[in-house]
Structure 1
């Protein structure tokens, strides 16, 4: 449908769609005390809004509002129009508890009760 519209109108529609995606997404990438909005996130990558950013590599933190969600290692990034497409090597979910280094049996009691 966009091929039948004038270039100015199709550019305005794309800009409005990107603005809507940016407002809808609460996800943000924190890199060196700078925040970048995440437009889309998938299993092994994400799309960022380009605002003076030409490439991005290394370890980044992804936040949902103020909650730390993921820690990702970006191995490649490329510009695609007004978006920066980043590819992850790993994306680790952040937990509020320390990792266990042993297997915990689910059927064991959590605490001991004193004899009454």
Structure 2
């Protein structure tokens, strides 16, 4: 039995894999008012489809199913197997509230009533 596949079959399989990755990808990157679907995401960066992805550089926002997750500083690191790779220079998680700039007061009284104001 031959293990050889024609170039047309290989191209069709790769197109189906790419279409499936785009459909199953839930993360998006937004840069300059445009959004791009992330094919894979890891601690040090992410990958986009090389056909549609520009050479992004600078601040971008990452979304997971519409929820703003990260603001990051990125640089394009190269293209490999039809995927454009980007590396994080800075990755900051988005907080729901602004950070406190003071220490909260502790009220350690357990048995005594609080003084009335």
Q: TM-score, normalised to structure 1's length?
A: 0.78
Q: List gaps (5 residues or longer) in structure 1.
A: none
Which residue of structure 1 aligns with residue 75 of structure 2?
75
Q: List gaps (5 residues or longer) in structure 2.
A: 108-112
Tell me if structure 1 keeps the 8 A contact 2:76–2:84: no
Which residue of structure 2 aligns with residue 17 of structure 1?
17
In the aligned structure 2, how far is the partner of 1:8 from the partner of 1:97? Answer: 53
| Total equivalences in the alignment | 109
- Name the SS for the 1:4 alignment partner: coil
Q: Deviations over 1:67-89 (max 9, x none)?
A: 10111111333122321110111
Q: Deviations over 1:23-44 (max 9, x none)?
A: 1111111011111000000001
| Distance verdict in 2 for CA 1:34–1:104, change over 3 Å | same
- Name the SS for the 2:12 alignment partner: helix
Q: Which has the larger radius of gyration?
A: 2
| Distance verdict in 2 for CA 1:41–1:104, change over 3 Å | farther
| Distance verdict in 2 for CA 1:13–1:75, change over 3 Å | same
Tell me if structure 1 keeps the 8 A contact 2:36–2:48: yes
